[in-house]
């Protein structure tokens, strides 16, 4: 509902469904929309924080927990009890809230269920906006999954400031002993609670939301088309798409999930066979996919996947490759810039640059996104497509001449282009040094080349930073050469790598030759070294932390897989979109000689196709 309509609901007029509460299973004797509420251990803290507001002091509360754990229901019960006669506002996007900074209302509850939609909007919700609402005594409430909260706290400075100002209520996945005891008493009066308590392999709140039945709908579909449409919706959610998926998008995406024989039927009948199964209510009004209106009566914006099923399939399909047709459908049909931004990030993290490129181009051209223009230009530079990179930045400047950051990026790109053209004749003539320099400039947009120039001019810090970049890229041969020449930073980096890889003989040889970093690390080396068997528990713990959205765990996981030289594990993390997996996998290729240096460099520039095969180059398009 838009803020300028002037017909806001009161809190006690809003239905649970309007506020995003999951539909519950039904029982023969159930008459109410929701089962009876089971008091939660955190209810006292939640209501205390909410009721602490005054005329000049509001409350900003965020419930953090996994899908179907009762976040929204608990928030609804608290707000309904405390502020029944207050106005209720559910903004469509952050821009609606930003309009209120000059004339904020009072005695209003701002309901931001699925808070990530407002944090990742264009423009995003700001700390200033929320502070303004709170200063007028309003209440702002929202819900987040744990991984979304982790992403929030590692985002921009303003969003981190916003996170710091929120009162967080953690919602556990399972009920405590006290909560289960109360549920047992309520079960005598509410058959839905009784059914949920006796549902095996899942918790009470998940069972009430129809979780097991949703999983069964995925595992035992009526037709392959139903499974395909659910898989497409789940993969969209996994890539960060939060908007409803239109029928046109789903029909196009389904192609990649069907076998050739199943594609024989006309595409227009695929959804006809898929949607009745996918949208059929289970245990009442719970369904795998739910239709969403477009803000006008009688319209359909698209379909959204049930949170519980999305979270389940995020684990089941964690490392599955997203088909080309699905990428293409998301890129061409999505309309929200926040969805396109997350899609571009997901493609980049997976080395799927062929999909990152058109997504970034849409962001730059259609939504005047300067950051996207610069990211696209850097991608094009790595592919030696300077003319197009310059054109992208010039178009952005033509749209907004005051974007000084893009202007500086354009100047840098033009300077780099000139440098490359000066080197190219010698490289084309077969000069090894020129070819190597040209390749390195393209790899990281000239950063390492700049450091080499500064190092030659006597800048020791630049030399140390260059060694760090060489280590990150897995350039072991050059690091070894530098170590042999007596460079301390290179010797330390090489010794650290030998320790990580448990290369005892190589480490010992360097120590016996008088290499001090090798001697030091050899003396402190654990006798067992690093072994995959001993690291299994740590890997499992780190993967669980990654799935909870902790960015530091992602980097630690990828570093450990690199140390174990676990190419398959890094490939899995790459397909899962884990932060750092792409760089660590390419570094492993380079360090171990898994591919020729030229092939690794090409992978770094052009990435992979949807099916993990190397992408042939820019001459291929989204066809």
Confidence of residue 99 (pLDDT cuts 50, 70, 90): confident
What are the pLDDT digits (tens) for 475-487?
999 999 999 999 9
Q: The tokens 């630690």 sit on which residue?
A: 556
pLDDT score, position 620:
41
Decide: helix, strand or coil at residue 564.
coil
**How much is the average pLDDT of 259-276?**
93
Q: Does residue 386 surpass a pLDDT of 60?
A: yes
CATH number of 3-178: 3.40.50.300
For the ranges 288-292, 349-353, 556-560, the maximum mean pLDDT occurs at 349-353
Q: Does residue 5 surpass a pLDDT of 60?
A: no
pLDDT score, position 526:
58
Q: Does residue 23 surpass a pLDDT of 80?
A: no
Architecture of domain 337-439: Alpha Horseshoe (1.25)
pLDDT score, position 282:
75
Write down the pTM of the prediction: 0.77
Confidence of residue 532 (pLDDT cuts 50, 70, 90): low
Confidence of residue 541 (pLDDT cuts 50, 70, 90): confident
pLDDT score, position 154:
78
DSSP string, 158-169: HHHHHHHTSEEE
**How much is the average pLDDT of 233-261?**
95
For 448-485, letters b (16+ CB in 10 Å) and e give: bbbbeebbeeeeeebbbbbbeebbebbbbeebbebbee
Nearest Cα to Cα of residue 77 among 12, 130, 154: 12
Average pLDDT taken over every residue of the chain: 89
What are the pLDDT digits (tens) for 586-601?
999 998 888 888 888 8
What are the pLDDT digits (tens) for 326-338?
999 999 999 999 9
**How much is the average pLDDT of 167-186?**
92
For 493-521, letters b (16+ CB in 10 Å) and e give: bbbbbbbbbbbeebbeebbeeebebbbeb
Q: How far apart are CA 139 and CA 50, in angstroms?
A: 7
> How many other β-carbons are positioned within 10 Å of the β-carbon of residue 114?
16
DSSP string, 346-382: HHHHTT-HHHHHHHHHHHHHHS--HHHHHHHHHHHHH
Confidence of residue 534 (pLDDT cuts 50, 70, 90): low
Question: Cα-flanking dihedrals φ and ψ of residue 407, to 5°?
Answer: -60, -45
**How much is the average pLDDT of 177-193?**
90
**How much is the average pLDDT of 227-255?**
96
- The encoded tokens of residue 467 equal 């060694």
Confidence of residue 619 (pLDDT cuts 50, 70, 90): low
The set of residues, in sequence order, having a beta carbon less than 8 Å from that of 455 and lying 6+ positions away, is: 462, 463, 466
Measured between its terminal Cα atoms, the distance across the chain in Å is 38
319 or 66, higher pLDDT: 319
Nearest Cα to Cα of residue 163 among 151, 175, 172: 151
Q: How far apart are CA 221 and CA 240, in angstroms?
A: 25
Q: Does residue 460 surpass a pLDDT of 80?
A: yes
Cis upstream peptide for 123 (omega within 30°): yes
285 or 49, higher pLDDT: 49
Q: Does residue 302 surpass a pLDDT of 90?
A: yes
**How much is the average pLDDT of 401-406?**
94
Q: Does residue 7 surpass a pLDDT of 70?
A: no
Confidence of residue 306 (pLDDT cuts 50, 70, 90): confident
**CB of 575 closer than 8 Å to CB of 350:** yes
Domain residue spans in the chain? Answer: 3-178, 212-335, 337-439, 446-524, 532-592
Q: How far apart are CA 156 and CA 497, in angstroms?
A: 33
547 or 35, higher pLDDT: 35
Cis upstream peptide for 480 (omega within 30°): no
343 or 24, higher pLDDT: 343
> How many other β-carbons are positioned within 10 Å of the β-carbon of residue 189?
9
pLDDT score, position 156:
82
Q: How far apart are CA 205 and CA 319, in angstroms?
A: 28
Percent of the chain past pLDDT 90, that is, above it, reads: 61
pLDDT score, position 25:
72
pLDDT score, position 209:
75
pLDDT score, position 617:
74
Confidence of residue 86 (pLDDT cuts 50, 70, 90): very high
């Amino acid at each position: 509902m838009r803020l300028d309509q002037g017909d806001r609901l009161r809190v006690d007029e809003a239905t649970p469904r309007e506020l995003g509460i999951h539909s519950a299973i039904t029982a023969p004797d159930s008459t109410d929309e929701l089962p009876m509420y089971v008091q939660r251990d955190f209810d006292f803290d939640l209501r205390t924080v909410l009721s602490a507001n005054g005329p000049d002091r509001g409350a900003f509360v965020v419930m953090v927990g996994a899908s179907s754990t009762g976040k929204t229901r608990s928030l609804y019960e608290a707000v309904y009890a405390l502020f029944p006669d207050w106005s209720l506002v559910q903004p469509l996007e952050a821009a609606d809230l930003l309009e209120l900074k000059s004339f904020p209302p009072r005695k209003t509850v701002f309901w931001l269920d699925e808070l990530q939609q407002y944090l990742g909007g264009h423009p995003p919700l700001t700390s200033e906006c929320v502070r303004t609402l709170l200063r007028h005594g309003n209440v702002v409430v929202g819900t987040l999954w744990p991984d979304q909260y982790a992403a929030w706290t590692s985002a921009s400075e303003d969003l981190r400031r916003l996170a710091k100002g929120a009162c967080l209520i953690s919602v556990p996945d399972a009920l405590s002993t006290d909560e289960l005891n109360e549920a047992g008493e309520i079960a005598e009066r509410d058959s839905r609670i009784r059914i949920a308590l006796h549902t095996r392999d899942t918790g009470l709140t998940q069972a009430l939301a129809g979780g097991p039945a949703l999983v069964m709908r995925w595992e035992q579909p009526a037709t392959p088309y139903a499974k395909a449409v659910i898989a497409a919706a789940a993969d969209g959610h996994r890539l960060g798409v939060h908007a409803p998926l239109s029928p046109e998008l789903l029909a196009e995406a389904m192609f990649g999930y069907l076998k050739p024989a199943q594609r024989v039927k006309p595409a227009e009948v695929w959804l006809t066979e898929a949607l009745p199964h996918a949208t059929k209510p289970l245990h009442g009004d719970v369904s795998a996919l739910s239709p969403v209106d477009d803000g006008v009566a009688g319209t359909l914006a698209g379909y959204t996947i049930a949170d519980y099923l999305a979270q389940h399939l995020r684990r089941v399909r964690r490392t599955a490759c997203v088909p080309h047709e699905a990428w293409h459908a998301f890129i061409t049909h999505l309309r929200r810039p926040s969805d396109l931004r997350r899609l571009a990030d997901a493609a980049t993290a997976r080395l799927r640059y062929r999909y990152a490129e058109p997504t970034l181009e849409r962001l730059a051209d259609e939504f005047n996104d300067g950051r996207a223009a610069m990211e696209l230009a850097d991608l094009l530079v790595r592919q030696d497509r300077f003319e197009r990179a310059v054109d992208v930045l010039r178009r952005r400047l033509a749209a907004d001449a005051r974007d000084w950051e893009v202007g500086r990026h354009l100047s840098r790109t033009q300077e780099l282009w000139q440098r490359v053209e000066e080197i190219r004749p010698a490289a084309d003539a077969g000069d090894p040094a020129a070819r190597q320099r040209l390749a390195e400039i393209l790899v990281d947009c000239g950063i390492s080349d700049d450091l080499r120039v500064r190092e030659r001019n006597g800048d020791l810090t630049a030399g140390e930073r260059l060694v760090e970049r060489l280590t990150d890229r897995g350039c072991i041969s050059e690091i070894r050469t530098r170590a042999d020449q007596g460079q301390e930073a290179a010797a330390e980096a090489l010794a650290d790598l030998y320790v990580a890889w448990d290369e005892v003989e190589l480490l010992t040889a360097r120590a016996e030759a008088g290499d001090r970093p090798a001697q030091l690390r050899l003396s402190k080396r654990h006798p067992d070294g690093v072994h995959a068997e001993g690291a299994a528990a740590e890997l499992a713990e780190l993967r669980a932390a990654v799935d909870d959205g902790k960015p530091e765990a992602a980097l630690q996981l990828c570093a450990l897989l690199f140390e174990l030289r676990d190419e398959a594990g890094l490939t899995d993390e790459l397909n899962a979109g884990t932060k750092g997996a792409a760089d660590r996998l390419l570094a492993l290729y380079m360090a171990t000689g898994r591919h020729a240096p030229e092939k690794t460099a090409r992978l770094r520039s052009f990435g992979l196709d949807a099916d993990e095969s190397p992408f042939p180059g820019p001459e291929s398009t989204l066809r």
